Amino acid sequence: MKFPFQTIALIGKYKAPEIAEPLLRLADFLSAQGVQVVVDSLTAEHLKNHAYQALTLEEIGRTVDLAIVMGGDGTMLNITRTLSPCGVPLIGVNQGRLGFLTDLTLDNMQAQLTAMLAGKFIVEERLLIGARVLRNEVEVFRALAFNEVVVHRSQLGSLIEFEVRIDGEYLSNQRADGLIVATPTGSTAYALSAGAPILHPSLNVLELVPICPHTLSNRPIVVSAASVLEITMRRAHDLRVRFDSHTDFELQAQDKIIVTGHPQHALLLHPEGHSYYHTLREKLLWNQTL
């Protein structure tokens, strides 16, 4: 990570014209601090009368020192998958609903960023996972995920059948609506709804979470992120694998999904004083009096 930040990219929520005013306000503020500001090319389509250079995400990944994402958790997930392999650190400004990944608000972003540009921030590394789909032992698809990789049936399909191996060792055969392979970041997303535990983001682990398993003894299991997970589809009809709900691929019987931790971690920057436990209390309403 390069510091001080000399070139900063601003990225807004996709197809959200209401992002234009606060994003331009932020761009003008950063420019006044002596920072070179560039804007994501898709975001720039919603901006009028601005003088900032528009770059694609690929160009941003090669040229900037920091990216500030204005949107919700979905926007942050998508941008993290794209920019983290390039080593670009990220700051999130929340303009969504829940905001697990976006610390700053529209009201406090200038004050918080003033301190962060002066070096007053916390660097947090978070796990990414990569998955490959093999068909007849030939790779036919690959993608990254920040939250989870999910194998699932369609709404009209029956239970799916699959085999799970960890580091080559047979673990189980399962019949279920699907299987979630979640990172600690994803443990507060789909995995949490499916009954899995919350994992602190500093842990280097993955959790495998059956979705509505036919056999009730099939429970979530936590394994090392250094493990190689192999999921073989024994029966497949209208079946897909999804990555953070942004990318998906249609599966066939006997396809194998190989999931591993990615060598490059996501770098999230937080204001000083940031606490993950405070975030849990606030977002999950644990601080409410019964």
Structure-block tokens of residue 187: 């443990």
The Cα 127–Cα 42 span in angstroms is 27
Out of 73, 103, 244, 255, the active site residue is 73
Q: Structure tokens of 89?
A: 């650190």
C-alpha 243/C-alpha 130 separation (Å) is 9
Do strands 66-71 and 7-12 pair parallel, antiparallel, or not at all (unpaired)?
Answer: parallel
For the four alpha carbons of 196, 197, 202 and 203, in that order, the dihedral sign comes to negative
Cβ-based neighbour number of residue 3 at 10 Å: 13
Could you tell me the two tokens for 290?
Answer: 């019964």
Tokens matching residue 128: 């990414």
Check if the beta carbon of residue 77 is closer than 8 Å to that of residue 143.
no
Q: What is the spatial distance between Cα 32 and Cα 21, in angstroms, rounded to a whole number? A: 17
Peptide bond between residue 184 and the one before it cis (omega within 30 degrees of 0) = no
* Residues 92, 220: Cα–Cα separation, whole Å: 30
40 is catalytic: no
Q: What are phi and psi of 40, to 5 degrees?
A: -55, 140
Q: Across the strands, what pairs with 266?
A: 126
Query: What are the catalytic residues?
Result: 73
